[in-house]
Chain A
Amino acid sequence: MYEFTYHRPTSLADAAAMLGRSEEAKLLGGGQTLLPTLKQRLARPSDLIDLGQIAELKGIREEGGGLMIGAFTRHAEVAHSDLVRRVIPSLADLAEGIGDRQVRNMGTLGGSICNADPSADYPSAVVALKATVKTDRREIAGDDFFTGMFETALEPGEIVTSVTFQKPDKAAYAKFRNPASRYAIVGVFVARFGSEVRVAVTGAGPSVFRATDMETALAGNISPDALNGIKVAADGLNADIHASAEYRAHLVTVMAKRAVVACG
């Protein structure tokens, strides 16, 4: 790691002020991506601003029938929360499947979505569960938050404070995971809100996206058979040593069907 100056603010206002002081400052959530990045010297921030002591960024509560989860809430807390398990069990399942136990004990919701890794799990829930991302200056619709590979709608110096997920009638997340990293090679989050069905796909493309053909097919008939013959195009999907674009396109339909089955 290159050297940096470490800060540990105890209020959001202090964190924002510190972040505003340097263009090269970075926020530190659980650090499960950022620290490995720094260890490989792939980034050289001047300052690390640890958000771990800011009470305003923590906690899970019911809000408007859904769930408000603070940005500095760790994956393990979401996975083990009785409240999440009761209101949106699919979200607890998703959190339980991130990384491994030790990563879940450190990694945070805010860190995951701000990093916007194309293979991360949480982006699919943010989009499928019609979430609202709150920052220290505005609210951003989940559909508008992820703008590209490792890119979000956040402006320089903006801090995500919480994410509010809407409660679906039924929902499930199905992931074909990389067996070593447990990142999603393809993950599909299916959520039904009344007659509306949302299908959010992570891992397959540069950024999470909605499979709108599948949503239309499922809206009238939420059954795996409704997805027969519906495939996303392989063009523009990710291809790497783990899976080709064509294989990922195939997996999207398979995982979508599994998620629909799991919706019950």
Chain B
Amino acid sequence: MPCTVSMTVNGKAVSREVEERTLLVTFLRDHLGMTGTHVGCDTSQCGACVVHVDGRSVKSCTILAAQANGASITTIEGLAAADGTLHPMQAAFREHHGLQCGFCTPGMVMSAIDLVKDNPTPTEQDVREGLEGNICRCTGYHNIVKAVLAGAEAMQGGSVKAAAE
């Protein structure tokens, strides 16, 4: 049976009639056409689909769109400023080349921002543990961790420093 689902996505109110079994990630990608959020494993393990629901990082392949009814969602598309200026975490991923193929990147960035919210000055160990829910199939973790550390610092008000190498 179809149901109406309404929520705020990246600051914009949206409403669609969807099947009740529709997952949030399907709602975002297929119904809203926002394909920045990726489907990797589709079994809540890889974290490519991480978005923020009311400020908390969740795996959008493991929540129904209906459960997010009335919620405020932020996806990777909602991070940059209107003029295109990247969010400090996005800028850090670019600067430190925190990606290889890039498929896991949207989820990595969304998880990293949530992690820094709880722990503004994480250690390398904090970052590695905090990203447990995100898998990089290229195994490019080293630069991802460097990027998150730099992004965390930049989110404290500094700008993203150029990579040393």
A: residues with CB less than 8 A from B are 1-6, 8, 28, 31-32, 35-36, 38-39, 48, 50, 52, 76, 80, 99-103, 105-106, 180-182
Which residues of the other chain, A, contact B130 by a CB distance below 8 angstroms? 101
Q: Please count how many residues in chain B sit with their CB below 8 Å of the partner chain's CB atoms.
A: 29
Complex: chain A residue closest to B1, CB-CB = A5
Compute how far the CA of A226 lies from the CA of B124 in the bound complex, rounded to whole angstroms: 37
Is the pair A102, B66 in contact by a Cβ cutoff of 8 Å? no
Which residues of the other chain, A, contact B69 by a CB distance below 8 angstroms? 8
Q: Does B44 contact A (CB under 8 A)?
A: yes
Is the pair A100, B20 in contact by a Cβ cutoff of 8 Å? no
- Contact A101-B115, Cβ < 8 Å, known A32-B62, A182-B132: yes
Compute how far the CA of A8 lies from the CA of B20 in the bound complex, rounded to whole angstroms: 12
Given contacts A2-B21, A6-B21, 16 further A-B contacts (CB under 8 A): A4-B21, A5-B20, A6-B20, A32-B44, A32-B62, A35-B23, A36-B62, A48-B64, A99-B133, A101-B130, A101-B132, A101-B133, A102-B47, A102-B59, A103-B133, A182-B132
> B67 is contacted by which of A31, A105, A180, A182 (Cβ under 8 Å)?
A31
At the interface, is chain A mostly helix, strand, loop or mixed?
A: mixed
Compute how far the CA of A2 lies from the CA of B62 in the bound complex, rounded to whole angstroms: 15
Which residues of the other chain, A, contact B57 by a CB distance below 8 angstroms? 101-102, 105
- Contact A31-B20, Cβ < 8 Å, known A101-B111, A101-B114, A101-B130: no
Compute how far the CA of A94 lies from the CA of B130 in the bound complex, rounded to whole angstroms: 16
Most chain B Cβ neighbours within 10 Å, of A3, A52, A103, A105: A105
- Contact A6-B42, Cβ < 8 Å, known A101-B114, A101-B133, A102-B133: no
Which residues of the other chain, A, contact B109 by a CB distance below 8 angstroms? none
Q: Does B83 contact A (CB under 8 A)?
A: no
> A76 is contacted by which of B56, B59, B63, B111 (Cβ under 8 Å)?
B56
Of all A-B residue pairs in the complex, the 9 with the closest CB atoms, nearest first, are A100-B133, A6-B20, A105-B56, A1-B21, A100-B132, A102-B133, A102-B59, A6-B66, A35-B62
Which residues of the other chain, A, contact B59 by a CB distance below 8 angstroms? 102-103, 106
Q: Does B19 contact A (CB under 8 A)?
A: yes
Q: List CB contacts (< 8 Å) of B117-140 with chain A.
A: 118, 130, 132-133
At the interface, is chain B mostly helix, strand, loop or mixed?
A: mixed
Q: List CB contacts (< 8 Å) of B93-127 with chain A.
A: 111, 114-115, 118
Is the pair A3, B132 in contact by a Cβ cutoff of 8 Å? no
- Contact A39-B42, Cβ < 8 Å, known A6-B64, A102-B59, A182-B132: yes
B: residues with CB less than 8 A from A are 1, 3, 19-21, 23, 42-45, 47, 50, 56-59, 62-64, 66-67, 69, 111, 114-115, 118, 130, 132-133
Compute how far the CA of A31 lies from the CA of B53 in the bound complex, rounded to whole angstroms: 15
Compute how far the CA of A38 lies from the CA of B50 in the bound complex, rounded to whole angstroms: 20
Compute how far the CA of A28 lies from the CA of B21 in the bound complex, rounded to whole angstroms: 13
Q: Supply 19 A–B pairs (Cβ within 8 Å), ascending by A.
A: A3-B20, A6-B3, A6-B66, A8-B69, A31-B62, A31-B63, A39-B42, A48-B20, A50-B67, A80-B118, A99-B133, A101-B114, A101-B115, A103-B44, A103-B59, A103-B133, A106-B59, A106-B63, A180-B45
- Contact A31-B64, Cβ < 8 Å, known A101-B132, A102-B58: yes
